[in-house]
Amino acid sequence: MKRVLVTGASGFIGRHSLRFLVEQGYEVHAVARGAVPPTDLVTAHSCDLLDDRATAALIRAVRPTHLLHFAWYAIPGKFWTAPENLDWAAASLRLLRTFADSGGRRAVCAGSCAEYDWSEPLLSETTTKLAPRTLYGTAKNAVRSCLEHAAATLGLDWAWGRVFFLYGPHEAPGRLVSDVVAALVAGNRIAVSAGLQQRDFLHVEDVARSFVTVLDSDLQGALNIAAGRTVAVRDVVERIGALTGRAELIDIGGRAAPPHDPAALAAGIDRLTTLGFTPRYDLTAGLAQTVEWWRSRAGA
């Protein structure tokens, strides 16, 4: 029996992982503070993972063999410096300890490209220094480091997926693709930066499916979750303009780029490709599907 507990199951990645886990034959238990998206063959649990007693009771009741941990503080624009990162780092370590003590065998957690030294041209799991610039990246990396050093003692197999730039249905407002698509679908003007930054974008369904692929493997340690190719932010915005037919509403260069924004953040994906994973969406197809989702919401 493969019984997986998915934290953050109502979040951006977590909600998309559920059907892929069912397809892989897992008994799926999904946990969130609020309502979990209804998915066939998934058991939903409401639990505040910052409450140690509630978390321990949930683990004892479910007794999962596998853990897929997405839950974290993730409000766009705020998560980089929020003190809640400290709460989630501590709660994540207690969750992992309780999972192991209850007989859990394999844990896969969501990390971030923010753990890396962003001054390097290619961010590689094997060669790039870990030098986070933000509290968010520092907290994520601290959990990863503790898990790496404790896993053998706890008897855990583990992997750590560093997520780069994602987009798709159910993305929260305040992020690039969600804000641009929502504005254009509504017929509103939107100002963006010159968009010269190169970023690695991967559709959220492919991000979720890659985590399930990792969970179902014996890969150990950290790996990048990304497409393995970069594109200029301006190109992404212009493709959205073309797909919505509202390109004239985009004010490119009307907004300043964030200070100290790296010119490029490119991901090495050698470890992910060794698992045989390939994305199902290219950028244009993924953006088209995302635009249609926003249009369906506007017409609901």
pLDDT tens string 274-289: 999 999 999 999 999 9
Q: Are residues 206 and 176 in the same domain?
A: no
Q: Are residues 85 and 210 in the same domain?
A: yes
pLDDT at 187 over 60: yes
Residue 276 lies in a domain: no
Q: Domain holding 240: CATH number? A: 3.90.25.10
pLDDT tens string 211-251: 999 999 999 999 999 999 999 999 999 999 999 999 999 99
Q: Are residues 18 and 157 in the same domain?
A: yes
What pLDDT score was predicted for residue 258? 84
Q: Are residues 44 and 178 in the same domain?
A: no
pTM for this structure? 0.96
Q: Are residues 65 and 190 in the same domain?
A: no
Residue 240 lies in a domain: yes
Residue 253 lies in a domain: yes
pLDDT at 300 over 60: no
Q: Are residues 185 and 94 in the same domain?
A: no
Q: Are residues 146 and 234 in the same domain?
A: no
What pLDDT score was predicted for residue 260? 84
What is the DSSP code string of the chain? --EEEEESTTSTTHHHHHHHHHHTT-EEEEEESSPPPP-TTEEEEE--TT-HHHHHHHHHHH--SEEEE------TTTTTT-THHHHHHHHHHHHHHHHHHTT--EEEEEEEGGGB-TTSSEE-TTTS-B---SHHHHHHHHHHHHHHHHHHHHT-EEEEEEE-EEE-TTPPTTSHHHHHHHHHHTT--EEE-----EE-EEEHHHHHHHHHHHHTS---EEEEES-S--EEHHHHHHHHHHHHT-GGGEEETSSPPPTT--SEEEE--HHHHTTT---S--HHHHHHHHHHHHHHHHT-
What domain range includes position 95? 3-165+202-225
Q: Are residues 180 and 117 in the same domain?
A: no
Q: Are residues 212 and 82 in the same domain?
A: yes
Tally the domains of the chain.
2
Mean pLDDT of 117-137: 96
Q: Are residues 61 and 80 in the same domain?
A: yes
Residue 61 lies in a domain: yes
Q: Are residues 73 and 210 in the same domain?
A: yes
Residue 274 lies in a domain: no
